[in-house]
Amino acid sequence: MLFIQFTGLSGAGKSTLSKGVAERLTTLGYRVEVLDGDRYRRHLWPELTFSAQDRQENIRRLGFIGQRLVHHGVIVILAAINPYKSVRDELAVLMPGSRLVFIDCALPTLQQRDTKGLYARALLPQAHADHITNLTGVNDPYDRPETPDLHIDTSTETREASEQRLLNALLTWLKTTSSDDVN
């Protein structure tokens, strides 16, 4: 069917948008699975840390699950930070026709939202007991995608507008995928 890779910093809106679009696609009769990075990590492989190597392994494992689901006719949305271009490229090769969606958000907006308290902790003095040193995009690397298939900036448009743009893109990609399957 179709594999969509999200990428974006913590709090940008990946989970919110993926859930909203999944509900709308389901209403239209599509089978959809959201592979939420936090949820799967917590339940299936809690042994993974937030080192670069483990972050990459997390995405590879989610990609494998996604590949199996796509094989069975499910639209898969991988909603994870997905910080490294090299792993995003690996998954694109593994699943030709997959799409990359950059869920972007300005850092001041992310700091204001800070739904998990991560930005506040990352900006604490290094000697502080609650300081974290591996927040992607703040004090850990993040490879911003140069040419995503869709770029959504949740700091400049409403959730509803972002969700509608994402839904429109997915429906267009589904038509393209369906016509490719006929040939």
What residue ranges define each of the domains in the chain, with the CATH number in brackets? 2-105+142-176 (3.40.50.300)
> Residue 136: which of 26, 25, 56 has the closest Cα?
56
Q: What tens digit of pLDDT does each residue of 2-14 get?
A: 999 999 999 999 9
What number of other Cβ atoms are within 10 A of residue 43's Cβ? 9
How far, in Å, CA of 125 to CA of 183, rounded? 59
What is the rounded distance in angstroms from the CA atom of residue 108 to the CA atom of residue 49?
A: 27
Band of pLDDT at residue 47, cut at 50, 70 and 90? confident
* d(C-alpha 150, C-alpha 15), whole Å: 16
pLDDT-derived band at 179, boundaries 50, 70, 90 = very low
Compute the distance between CA of residue 49 and CA of residue 110 in angstroms, rounded to an integer: 23
**C-alpha count within 13 angstroms, C-beta hemisphere, residue 50:** 15
User: Of 4-8, 51-55, 77-81, where does mean pLDDT reach its minimum?
Assistant: 51-55
